[in-house]
């Protein structure tokens, strides 16, 4: 049985060529084929309800030609297919996720506003694709409050101790194993905890922060345990961090190989696909490539 491909979305921008390199390396590591896709956007100049008239015969695609030329010097590539599709990027790419291991794209393609850190297509594909999506940011993103970590390749993953999902940890451990990296698991807990009594009066918490931190780390270690067993060669460290979850994950992303987060879990009261505020903040600000993982539905 042939393996599903790793899809690299290209549009001729430098951002997409960086994503293409990342996708090619990942496809090689997964021993999977590479599919380079250029979605030729027509929606911007097509009136709603109007038929789309495409030119007869083969369509020349300079973007795909440039992608071939970019990869041509490399001798370590997997089998590659080049595909041009006419349509809306935010519709076509998620649909291709049904037959892909993952989709890789740059943080911002052609067009849009130069000040945007993440284009609308990156948000739409990360939100809607049924497979994992990796967004490769521009180099040089600055990260505040980065913790001191030992050198070496790391895969950072956010762990929700109160609402865990194995799909996110499965992906993080799998990528760490392929890349010879360790897993840096970030679990957060709320602090400081404020206790309100009467208006304008706040009592200091009666809880012990050290105890809460230790309990959070213990819960995170329990969630990591089965994945450590499946990947005995992957070192995994759990870190309990107080305060804002997005800030903690973004801080840990500095010099990381990959940062892994889960998409908002769909349920009966919120059936629409959503990224979630933490995931969107990580996409906007993390310094490393970011993998967004569709979460499995809860059994209950």
pTM, two decimals, is: 0.85
Dihedral pair phi/psi, residue 241, rounded to 5°: -125, 130
Query: Quick one: which of 55, 47, 132 has its CA closest to 86?
Result: 55
Any residues with CB less than 8 A from the CB of 109 and at least 6 apart, and which?
11, 13, 15, 16, 119, 121
**DSSP state, residue 44:** G
Q: Which residues of the chain have pLDDT under 50?
A: 1, 43-57, 111-117, 267-272, 299-300
Give the span between the Cα atoms of 61 and 38, in whole angstroms.
8
Domains of the chain: 6-136 (3.40.50.620), 154-293 (3.40.50.12370)
Q: If you write DSSP's letter for every residue of 213-277 in order, what string do you get?
A: HHHHHHHHHHHHHHHHHH-TTS-EEEEEEES-HHHHHHHHTTT-SEEEEEPPPPBTTB-S----H
Q: What's the confidence (pLDDT) of residue 170?
A: 96
Tokens at residue 244, please? 């804002």
Q: Are the C-beta atoms of 216 and 187 separated by less than 8 Å?
A: yes
Q: Are the C-beta atoms of 152 and 179 separated by less than 8 Å?
A: no
146: preceding bond cis by omega (within 30 degrees): no
At what angle are helices 120-128 and 89-96 packed, to 10 degrees?
30
Q: Are the C-beta atoms of 242 and 188 separated by less than 8 Å?
A: yes
Tokens at residue 250, please? 């973004």
**Sign of the C-alpha dihedral computed for residues 150, 155, 160 and 164 taken in this order:** negative
């Amino acid at each position: 049985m042939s393996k599903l491909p790793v899809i690299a979305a290209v549009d001729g921008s430098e951002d997409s060529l960086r994503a293409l390199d990342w996708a090619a390396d990942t496809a090689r590591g997964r021993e999977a084929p590479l599919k380079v896709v250029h979605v030729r956007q027509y929606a911007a100049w097509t009136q709603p309800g109007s038929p789309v008239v495409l030119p007869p015969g083969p369509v020349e695609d300079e973007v795909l030609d440039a992608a071939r030329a970019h990869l041509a010097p490399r001798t370590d590539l997997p089998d590659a297919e080049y595909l041009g599709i006419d349509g809306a990027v935010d519709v076509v790419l998620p649909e291709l996720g049904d037959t892909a291991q993952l989709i890789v794209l740059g943080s911002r393609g052609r067009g849009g506003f130069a000040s945007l850190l993440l284009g609308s297509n990156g948000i739409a594909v990360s939100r809607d694709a049924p497979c994992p999506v990796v967004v490769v940011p521009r180099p040089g993103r600055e990260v505040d409050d980065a913790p001191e970590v030992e050198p070496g390749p790391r895969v950072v993953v956010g762990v929700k101790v109160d609402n865990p999902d194995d799909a996110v940890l499965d992906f993080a451990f799998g990528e760490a194993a392929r890349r010879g990296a360790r897993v840096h698991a970030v679990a957060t807990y709320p602090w400081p905890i404020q206790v309100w009594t009467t208006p304008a009066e706040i009592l200091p918490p009666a809880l012990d922060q050290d105890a809460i931190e230790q309990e959070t780390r213990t819960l995170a270690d329990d969630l990591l345990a089965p994945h450590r067993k499946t990947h005995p060669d992957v070192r995994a460290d759990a870190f309990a961090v107080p305060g804002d979850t997005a800030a903690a994950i973004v801080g840990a992303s500095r010099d990381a190989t990959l940062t892994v987060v889960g998409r908002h879990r769909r349920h009966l009261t919120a059936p629409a696909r959503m990224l979630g505020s933490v995931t969107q903040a990580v996409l906007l600000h993390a310094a490393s490539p970011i993998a967004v993982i569709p979460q499995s539905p809860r059994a209950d």
